[in-house]
Amino acid sequence: MSIHIVTDSTSYLPGGYADQHGIDVVPLRVTIDGVLYREFVDIASDQFYVRQKSGAKAVTSQPGPEDFVGLYKRLLQNPEDEVLSIHISSLMSGTLNSAHAAAAMIESQQVVLYDSRMSGLGLGFMVMEAAHLAETGAAVSDIVAALDAMQARIHIYFLVGTLEYLVAGARIGKAAGVAGSILQIKPILTIKDGMIDVYDRPRTMRVAREHLWVLIDDAVGHGVEYVGFHYAGNRAEVEALQQEFERRTGIPSILSQLGPVVGGNTGPETLGVVIVEKAV
């Protein structure tokens, strides 16, 4: 019996990780100036950010049930195998709804669906943990229990150059309260209860970055299991932050580029930090 891990493209796993660990990744979709693309299949991230910076309009959407049906059928050719399908927060995307529809269509009890209530490496680190546990022989129920416990230890903080992309994409969630003051503040955003929310409201990017370091240092003081840094079209800026983190702490970390689906909603100047605290 094997446990097959499935996720979606917004997990933004480190390069090569999915292939090395047999993880199947279902791409989300982005429509750019009226043309539909599958994330990482039909368009590369750097290509997307060049177009976004030049004014191209992007609208994101979930995969359809048909994108899951064939995959689930292929993975379950052995009737004793199981699928654990772990996806972006259901409050941010309809991806999990499509996976539920697909599981119902194939009428299989061997597909377990999991709402990460996260995105980016918040989701990605959960997928990595699930793959590790599956490789060490854990049962699906044990993996799900571990992911439930892990959710509370994941901290996501990110800065954006402007809130305009989040507002335009209607993905600002609980952060809608700051939409009227876009030009007055540079908020530190987070993901809370499966939605984008405001963590702090500094008025300048300099102060926002100072506050971000306070949050990072506090998490390190509690002990960390995983650390990742996200960039969009601003690799040099975020890579410098990552290098400074590793110099200060000696803790290895992951550098991951946001793809068009998340970056389409946050903008090309997104800087994100994802920290998973160690279990007590």
Name the β-bridge partners of 85.
6, 113
pLDDT digits (tens, 9 = 90+) for 13-48: 999 999 999 999 999 999 999 999 999 999 999 999
Residue ranges in the chain modelled with pLDDT below 50 = 180, 183
The rounded Cα 266 to chain-centroid distance in angstroms is 12
Strands (E), the chain: 3-8, 24-26, 29-32, 35-38, 58-61, 82-87, 111-115, 154-159, 188-192, 195-200, 224-231, 254-257, 271-277
Domain boundaries, the chain: 3-27+63-151, 154-277
Look at residue 168 in the predicted model and tell me its pLDDT. 75
**Class in CATH terms, 154-277:** alpha beta
Going from the C-alpha of 113 to that of each of 45, 104, 134, 276, the distances in angstroms are: 28, 11, 15, 22
From the number of C-beta atoms within 10 Å of its C-beta (0-12, 13-18, 19+), residue 97 rates as middle
pLDDT digits (tens, 9 = 90+) for 171-205: 555 555 555 455 467 889 999 999 999 999 898 99
Among 277, 221, 279, 280, smallest CA distance to 248 is for: 221
Among 202, 122, 189, 112, smallest CA distance to 158 is for: 189
Sign of the four-CA dihedral 131, 132, 134, 138: negative
What CATH number was assigned to the domain covering residues 3-27+63-151?
Answer: 3.40.50.10170
